[in-house]
Amino acid sequence: MDTHDVSDVPQYLEVLLKQKRRLQNAKSQQGKHPRTRKTRDEVIEQFNIKLMMNVMRGVSHDDNTIKSSFIPPAYLPCHNPFDLLTKILIKDLLLETHHRGTYLLLRSVTGADRINALMAIMEDEYQDVIMIQLYHQRNDNEHGEEEILREGSVLAIKEPYFKLMSDGNYGLRADHLSDIIFLSAYDERVPKSWQQSGGQHDDTAVGWKIAGNNYFNVSKYHAAIQSYTKGLTFSSTEDEADVLRRNRSLAFIKTKQFDAALRDLEYPSSTIKPVEKALYRRAQALYSLRKYPECCEVLKILRIEYPNNTEVEHEFNRAADRIKELETGTYPFKKLHRQALKLQPPQLDHATYVGPLRIKGSGSRGRGLFTTEAVRAGDLLLCEKAFAYAFAEEGSNNVALLINVETDSMTMGAQAELLQLIVQKLYRNPSLAPIINNLHHGSYKPANVSEIDGGLVVDTFLIERIISLNCFGCPRLSQKSHLQSQLRAGIYDKQTKNEHHSCGVWPIASYINHSCFSNARRAFIGDIMTVRATQDLAADTEITFWYKSPADESYAERQKGFGHWGFKCDCIMCQDTQSTNQSAFSERSKLRAKGLKYYDPIRGITDTTKFEIIVQKMEDTYTRPASEVPRLSMWDPLLALAKSYMGNGQLVEAINSALKALESLGHVIEGGSMPRASGKPVLIKKWGLMHNCIVDCWMLLSNAYALVALELKDIAEQYARISYKICVGEDETFNETYKVPKP
């Protein structure tokens, strides 16, 4: 939704086709041994040269080519525990084959390179070498984490896939994190000849604790975890084990493994008074998992037990603020707005509020989100913090092409990064897996095993499919997009595409189905998505928003946009386009072209009489009333007319044209037209489609009423404010945006 889909762009289609041809050729080699192989020295030398070139390129920043990443045909992760697999050797590998039931034990003989994947040359125990490509691995030095792969690292690849690489060499590709087991220097599975002389300490719990602390102090958190874990196998007393677990918990927190940290921080049965550090870390882990009420409970105990701890108060207030947000849906929106402008990436520390909504079946649409009580236009239905968010500044070249050769879909943006973020987050915190795994994934059949070797099985291809069907492209601030569209709002500019390179997954919003005649609208403030009702809704109404905003186009054209999600929209607007003659569409676009002759982007309409005749003729091409089926080609010429009249001081005409623009989008408005028929206030009887231009229309009306019907001015402004709130997410920045003087 609103991502930059380039699946139909010829330039990229060529890349896709080339890749498909390459895969097809490779397939013909399936099950065969490679014909020729480079020597060990040649493979290592070639890799090292590339590594050096990449380092140099990285330093000089002279690479402007677009990065691309391929999602290969899906395959399932290994579902066998390591102990049940049989060891194989590099010489036994067959091309384009998943070696099910086996594993390869490898040691790195080079440093690692990272382009799309983490790559290195590795040897087996017979000194045969091979290139490996490990996808979706964490970034080295991310948050101060140590290198994941360096010369001498040992790992096992479960059920390896051997293939012809794009550069013509042979190698292994691994997409599932649980298929790789990084073996610590202390692991018994590491062959004796590969074990490094390490351990300058006693083989005791205390010795390993000191080793762990030493690693921790130089930010080698994974090595610290391995040392504390080893220490636990030597600990003879409960207290010794508690200290090791507590130390390990902090290393887990540093590496964002919050589930594991919490396990290490269970209250030890032998201790009556919980240890201060344990409580503090427990609160930290719970906060990071967004379990704010539980976090507050722990902080309450900490406050009572350790009243001198000065940091608790701050932490407690922070968690209490999150609880208030999730319970009441009240947010300091102006502050959020400032944070979204300032933070890089704009990831905000706020909780998710779910309004009067519930998930329930929606017939052939699968599941949907429904209101549990009546709501008014503008009400906040959802204010959701992204589960994961990948930011790419608009206009920057920090984007990549993600190509799925199986679904033939291609997006430009930060989707590849998003995939890595989600896969990593779930792998590190299995308790979060259901949030993502339960989302719609089309016809993809996921692995039916969830745990292996003590860790979570994250099916990368499932996550990729979930992202492709549920992710949202998003601006840093919808307020910015809103203002840009207002500036552009002249005729023929309305079809500007909503395509963004930043993207994220908002799991609750993902249950919302599409309708062109939608009754809710999303907006973004950094990585927070707001969803507000665009109409007054009765209880038990399914809420819908646009996956793609509707344009005045033929039925076939409109439905093309939904092909990716595998449905055809059957809303009233789509039904109407289906029954509309092609001649009506042609006539409309001819008239629009004609109208353009009397329109100047700076001066506005140059001949209002002629323009009005054209607008009237355009209206005649529609058969159903706008209150039933919005007329998507009408609002912008009508608004242009209103603005021209306003500029000429023809206030009555300006008001009537602005009202007609609103009505063309399905609004039913009473009591606002001129000359005034009664003393009734202007009133929206029924809200129509929520377009950015609605704010402009109401502001124009407010300004015009100020001169001819003062009693309607504030009401019109109020409607502008509600519309702004829906489009932008909040109305705390309304006054400064529209320069409304303070009362």
Ligand X SMILES: C[S@@+](CC[C@H](N)C(=O)[O-])C[C@H]1O[C@@H](n2cnc3c(N)ncnc32)[C@H](O)[C@@H]1O
- 8 Å CB contact between 171 and 96: no
**Minimal distance, residue 351 CB to ligand X, in Å:** 23
For 211, left (φ over 0), alpha (ψ -120 to 50), or beta? Answer: alpha
Residue 510 in contact with ligand X, rule: CB under 6 A: yes
Could you tell me the CA-to-CA distances from 232 to 190, 223, 226, 227 in Å, in that order? 20, 14, 10, 9
- 8 Å CB contact between 462 and 434: no
**Minimal distance, residue 368 CB to ligand X, in Å:** 6
Which two structure tokens, joined as six digits, stand for 133? 């490509």
CB-count exposure of residue 9 (10 Å: 0-12, 13-18, 19+): middle
Residue 367 in contact with ligand X, rule: CB under 6 A: yes
**Minimal distance, residue 471 CB to ligand X, in Å:** 9
First to last CA, the chain: 40
Query: Among residues 541 and 621, whose Cβ is nearest to ligand X?
Result: 541
How far apart are alpha carbons 47 and 421 in whole angstroms? 27
**Minimal distance, residue 568 CB to ligand X, in Å:** 7
- Residue 191 amino acid letter: P
Which two structure tokens, joined as six digits, stand for 315? 């932490």
Residue 3 in contact with ligand X, rule: CB under 6 A: no
From candidates 137, 424, 481, 515, binder to ligand X by CB under 6 A: 515
Query: Among residues 515 and 702, whose Cβ is nearest to ligand X?
Result: 515
From candidates 73, 293, 566, 601, binder to ligand X by CB under 6 A: 566
From candidates 73, 198, 293, 366, binder to ligand X by CB under 6 A: 366
Which long-range contacts (C-beta less than 8 Å, at least 24 apart) are formed by 699-706? 699/738, 700/639, 700/642, 700/643, 700/646, 700/654, 700/658, 701/655, 701/658, 701/659, 701/672, 703/646, 704/646, 704/651, 704/654, 704/655, 704/658, 705/655
**Minimal distance, residue 470 CB to ligand X, in Å:** 5
From candidates 69, 247, 470, 530, binder to ligand X by CB under 6 A: 470
**Minimal distance, residue 399 CB to ligand X, in Å:** 23
Q: 245: closest CA among 294, 212, 283, 289?
A: 212
Q: Report the 10 Å Cβ neighbour count for 303.
A: 15
Site string for ligand X, 254-293 (x = CB under 6 A): ----------------------------------------
Q: By Cβ distance, which residue is nearest to ligand X? A: 366
Query: Among residues 298 and 469, whose Cβ is nearest to ligand X?
Result: 469
From candidates 569, 655, 669, 715, binder to ligand X by CB under 6 A: 569
3 state DSSP class of 300: helix
**Minimal distance, residue 554 CB to ligand X, in Å:** 18
**Minimal distance, residue 369 CB to ligand X, in Å:** 8
For 453, left (φ over 0), alpha (ψ -120 to 50), or beta? Answer: left
For 542, left (φ over 0), alpha (ψ -120 to 50), or beta? Answer: beta
Query: Among residues 228 and 547, whose Cβ is nearest to ligand X?
Result: 547
Residue 469 in contact with ligand X, rule: CB under 6 A: yes
**Minimal distance, residue 367 CB to ligand X, in Å:** 3
- Give buried/exposed letters for 85-117 (b at 16+ CB in 10 A, else e): beebebeebebbbebeebbbbbbbbbbbbbebb
Q: Report the 10 Å Cβ neighbour count for 727.
A: 24
**Minimal distance, residue 566 CB to ligand X, in Å:** 5
Query: Among residues 152 and 442, whose Cβ is nearest to ligand X?
Result: 442
Residue 371 in contact with ligand X, rule: CB under 6 A: no
- Among the listed ranges 513-521, 584-592, 595-603, 701-709, the one in contact with ligand X (CB under 6 A) is 513-521
From candidates 40, 263, 365, 594, binder to ligand X by CB under 6 A: 365
- Among the listed ranges 184-192, 360-368, 623-631, 647-655, the one in contact with ligand X (CB under 6 A) is 360-368
Query: Among residues 415 and 510, whose Cβ is nearest to ligand X?
Result: 510
- Residue 555 amino acid letter: Y
**Minimal distance, residue 362 CB to ligand X, in Å:** 6
How far apart are alpha carbons 561 and 64 in whole angstroms? 30
**Minimal distance, residue 442 CB to ligand X, in Å:** 6
Residue 440 in contact with ligand X, rule: CB under 6 A: yes
Q: 690: closest CA among 539, 465, 531?
A: 531
Residue 514 in contact with ligand X, rule: CB under 6 A: yes
Residue 563 in contact with ligand X, rule: CB under 6 A: no
Which two structure tokens, joined as six digits, stand for 295? 């976090």
Query: Among residues 513 and 621, whose Cβ is nearest to ligand X?
Result: 513
Supply the DSSP string of 103-142, one letter for each residue: EEEEEESS--EESSSEEEEEE-TT--EEEEEETTPPPTTG
Query: Among residues 444 and 492, whose Cβ is nearest to ligand X?
Result: 444
How far apart are alpha carbons 312 and 302 in whole angstroms? 7
From candidates 389, 565, 599, 622, binder to ligand X by CB under 6 A: 565
Query: Among residues 108 and 371, whose Cβ is nearest to ligand X?
Result: 371
Residue 444 in contact with ligand X, rule: CB under 6 A: no
**Minimal distance, residue 570 CB to ligand X, in Å:** 7
Size of the site for ligand X (CB under 6 A): 17
Dihedral of the CA atoms 106, 110, 111, 115 (nearest 10)?
-80
From candidates 409, 513, 519, 534, binder to ligand X by CB under 6 A: 513
Query: Among residues 546 and 705, whose Cβ is nearest to ligand X?
Result: 546
For 94, left (φ over 0), alpha (ψ -120 to 50), or beta? Answer: beta
Residue 511 in contact with ligand X, rule: CB under 6 A: yes
3 state DSSP class of 368: strand
Residue 468 in contact with ligand X, rule: CB under 6 A: no
Q: What angle do CA 121, 123, 125 make, to 5 degrees?
A: 170
Query: Among residues 40 and 367, whose Cβ is nearest to ligand X?
Result: 367
**Minimal distance, residue 561 CB to ligand X, in Å:** 12
The residues near 616 (Cβ < 8 Å, ≥ 6 apart) are none
- Residue 576 amino acid letter: D
**Minimal distance, residue 604 CB to ligand X, in Å:** 38
Residue 577 in contact with ligand X, rule: CB under 6 A: no
- Among the listed ranges 98-106, 190-198, 366-374, 452-460, the one in contact with ligand X (CB under 6 A) is 366-374
Residue 726 in contact with ligand X, rule: CB under 6 A: no
Supply the DSSP string of 143-186, one letter for each residue: GGPPPSS-TT-EEEEES-EEEE-TTS-EEEEE--GGGEEEEPTT
Contact set with ligand X (CB under 6 A): 364-368, 440, 469-470, 510-511, 513-515, 565-567, 569
